[in-house]
Protein backbone atom coordinates (compact mmCIF):
# COMPACT_ATOMS: atom_id res chain seq x y z
CA UNK A 1 0.00 0.00 0.00
CA UNK A 2 1.31 3.44 -0.92
CA UNK A 3 -1.53 5.71 0.26
CA UNK A 4 -5.27 5.97 0.78
CA UNK A 5 -7.13 9.13 -0.19
CA UNK A 6 -10.55 9.91 1.26
CA UNK A 7 -12.76 12.73 0.05
CA UNK A 8 -14.70 14.11 3.01
CA UNK A 9 -17.76 16.31 3.44
CA UNK A 10 -16.27 18.49 6.22
CA UNK A 11 -12.47 18.62 6.25
CA UNK A 12 -12.28 20.26 9.68
CA UNK A 13 -14.48 17.66 11.40
CA UNK A 14 -12.82 14.74 9.64
CA UNK A 15 -9.33 16.06 10.33
CA UNK A 16 -10.14 16.30 14.05
CA UNK A 17 -11.17 12.63 14.17
CA UNK A 18 -8.40 11.26 11.95
CA UNK A 19 -5.61 13.36 13.50
CA UNK A 20 -6.47 11.92 16.91
CA UNK A 21 -7.12 8.33 15.75
CA UNK A 22 -4.04 8.10 13.53
CA UNK A 23 -1.91 9.82 16.18
CA UNK A 24 -2.89 7.06 18.61
CA UNK A 25 -1.51 4.57 16.06
CA UNK A 26 1.76 6.42 15.56
CA UNK A 27 1.01 8.34 12.35
CA UNK A 28 2.40 11.86 12.05
CA UNK A 29 1.26 14.77 9.94
CA UNK A 30 2.83 14.54 6.50
CA UNK A 31 1.31 17.26 4.29
CA UNK A 32 -1.21 20.06 4.74
CA UNK A 33 -2.82 22.45 2.25
CA UNK A 34 -6.04 24.50 2.04
CA UNK A 35 -8.23 21.60 0.94
CA UNK A 36 -6.45 18.63 2.47
CA UNK A 37 -4.17 17.01 5.01
CA UNK A 38 -2.27 13.74 5.28
CA UNK A 39 -0.58 11.59 7.92
CA UNK A 40 2.20 9.06 7.39
CA UNK A 41 3.60 5.94 9.06
CA UNK A 42 5.99 3.31 7.74
CA UNK A 43 5.91 4.72 4.21
CA UNK A 44 2.10 4.62 3.94
CA UNK A 45 0.08 7.80 4.11
CA UNK A 46 -3.59 8.60 4.52
CA UNK A 47 -4.98 11.70 2.84
CA UNK A 48 -8.18 13.67 3.46
CA UNK A 49 -9.43 16.07 0.80
CA UNK A 50 -12.42 18.39 1.07
CA UNK A 51 -15.09 17.29 -1.43
CA UNK A 52 -16.29 20.03 -3.74
CA UNK A 53 -19.85 21.21 -3.03
CA UNK A 54 -21.13 19.89 -6.37
CA UNK A 55 -20.09 16.32 -5.40
CA UNK A 56 -21.51 16.18 -1.87
CA UNK A 57 -24.77 14.45 -2.91
CA UNK A 58 -25.53 11.65 -2.55
CA UNK A 59 -23.82 11.27 0.80
CA UNK A 60 -21.37 8.45 1.42
CA UNK A 61 -22.74 5.12 2.60
CA UNK A 62 -20.46 2.14 3.19
CA UNK A 63 -23.03 -0.32 1.83
CA UNK A 64 -22.98 1.25 -1.63
CA UNK A 65 -20.40 0.34 -4.25
CA UNK A 66 -16.99 1.50 -3.07
CA UNK A 67 -15.13 1.59 0.21
CA UNK A 68 -16.72 -0.34 3.08
CA UNK A 69 -14.17 0.30 5.83
CA UNK A 70 -10.54 0.84 6.77
CA UNK A 71 -8.93 -1.69 9.12
CA UNK A 72 -5.78 -0.98 11.10
CA UNK A 73 -3.45 -3.33 12.99
CA UNK A 74 -3.40 -2.98 16.76
CA UNK A 75 -0.25 -4.02 18.60
CA UNK A 76 -2.27 -6.01 21.14
CA UNK A 77 -5.71 -6.73 22.56
CA UNK A 78 -4.81 -4.18 25.22
CA UNK A 79 -4.50 -1.48 22.57
CA UNK A 80 -7.96 -2.42 21.24
CA UNK A 81 -9.37 -2.11 24.77
CA UNK A 82 -7.60 1.23 25.36
CA UNK A 83 -8.83 2.59 22.03
CA UNK A 84 -12.37 1.50 22.86
CA UNK A 85 -12.27 3.48 26.10
CA UNK A 86 -10.76 6.51 24.37
CA UNK A 87 -13.38 6.43 21.61
CA UNK A 88 -16.17 6.34 24.18
CA UNK A 89 -14.57 9.14 26.20
CA UNK A 90 -14.45 11.28 23.05
CA UNK A 91 -18.14 10.61 22.37
CA UNK A 92 -17.42 8.46 19.32
CA UNK A 93 -19.86 5.72 18.45
CA UNK A 94 -18.58 2.18 19.03
CA UNK A 95 -20.35 -0.05 16.53
CA UNK A 96 -21.80 -3.48 17.35
CA UNK A 97 -21.66 -2.87 21.12
CA UNK A 98 -23.69 -6.02 21.80
CA UNK A 99 -20.96 -8.14 20.14
CA UNK A 100 -17.92 -6.07 21.11
CA UNK A 101 -15.02 -6.97 20.97
CA UNK A 102 -15.92 -10.06 18.92
CA UNK A 103 -18.18 -8.43 16.31
CA UNK A 104 -15.97 -9.90 13.58
CA UNK A 105 -16.36 -13.42 14.99
CA UNK A 106 -15.11 -15.36 18.00
CA UNK A 107 -11.50 -15.30 16.78
CA UNK A 108 -11.38 -11.63 15.74
CA UNK A 109 -10.76 -9.12 18.58
CA UNK A 110 -11.46 -5.58 17.36
CA UNK A 111 -13.20 -2.28 17.91
CA UNK A 112 -15.28 -0.65 15.19
CA UNK A 113 -16.21 3.02 14.98
CA UNK A 114 -17.11 5.64 12.35
CA UNK A 115 -15.52 8.88 11.22
CA UNK A 116 -17.68 12.03 10.78
CA UNK A 117 -18.81 10.83 7.30
CA UNK A 118 -19.71 7.42 8.79
CA UNK A 119 -16.79 5.65 7.14
CA UNK A 120 -16.30 2.54 9.27
CA UNK A 121 -12.91 2.26 10.97
CA UNK A 122 -11.62 -0.95 12.56
CA UNK A 123 -8.71 -1.57 14.92
CA UNK A 124 -7.95 -5.30 15.15
CA UNK A 125 -5.64 -7.19 17.48
CA UNK A 126 -2.99 -9.45 15.94
CA UNK A 127 -4.05 -13.06 15.39
CA UNK A 128 -1.17 -14.15 17.64
CA UNK A 129 -2.98 -12.42 20.54
CA UNK A 130 -6.07 -14.57 20.11
Please tell me whether residues 94 and 46 are part of one structural domain: no
Domain at 130, CATH number: 3.10.180.10
Q: In the chain, what percentage of residues exceed pLDDT 90? A: 89
Taking the model in full, what pTM does it have?
0.92
Find the mean pLDDT for residues 46-61: 95
Sheet strands (E) in 1-130: 3-8, 28-33, 36-41, 44-50, 69-73, 110-114, 120-124
| Full domain range(s) for residue 24 | 1-53
Residue 27, pLDDT above cutoff 90: yes
* pLDDT attached to residue 18: 98
pLDDT in tens, 13-22: 999 999 999 9
In DSSP notation, 40-76 reads EETTEEEEEEEPPGGG--SPP-TTSSS--EEEEE-SS
Please tell me whether residues 38 and 76 are part of one structural domain: no
pLDDT in tens, 68-120: 999 999 999 999 999 999 999 999 999 999 999 999 998 899 999 999 999 99
Is residue 76 a part of any domain in this protein? Answer: yes
Residue 128: which pLDDT band, with cuts at 50, 70 and 90? Answer: confident
How many domains are contained in the chain? 2
Please tell me whether residues 5 and 49 are part of one structural domain: yes
Please tell me whether residues 118 and 82 are part of one structural domain: yes
Amino acid sequence: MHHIELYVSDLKASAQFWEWFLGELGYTEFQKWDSGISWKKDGIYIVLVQTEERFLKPEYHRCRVGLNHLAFHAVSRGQVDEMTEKLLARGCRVLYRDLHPYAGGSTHYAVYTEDPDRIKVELAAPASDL
